[in-house]
Amino acid sequence: MYYLYVLSCLDKSLYTGITNNLAKRMKIHRLGKGSKYVFAHLPFKLVYTEIFQSKSKALKRELEIKKWKREEKIRNLRLKV
């Protein structure tokens, strides 16, 4: 299984990513080793997840969401940020 996730960072920016181990990925982000973007915007809060059966489907969804503007992400995913 693969997880698509959205993080709300300290500056209220939104970060979207995928992983096959959500708990491990969150721990890596918290240690500042997950991505340069999240490291520069710590701390963060996990605000959204979706589960997929394949990496391919998760990647397609990630690309779709990353094309959206912030307001679209909040509305379409019903985020509470």
pLDDT of amino acid 46? 96
Confidence of residue 42 (pLDDT cuts 50, 70, 90): confident
pTM as predicted: 0.93
pLDDT of amino acid 81? 81
CA 56, CA 71: separation in Å to the nearest integer? 26
Which candidate, 47, 53, 42, places its Cα nearest to that of 65? 47
Q: How far apart, in Å, are the Cα atoms of 11 and each of 25, 28, 81?
A: 20, 20, 11
Q: What is the CATH topology of the domain spanning 2-77?
A: GIY-YIG endonuclease (3.40.1440)
34: exposed, middle or buried (Cβ count in 10 Å: 0-12, 13-18, 19+): buried
Which candidate, 5, 60, 80, 69, places its Cα nearest to that of 38? 5
Is the confidence at residue 5, as pLDDT, over 90?
Answer: yes
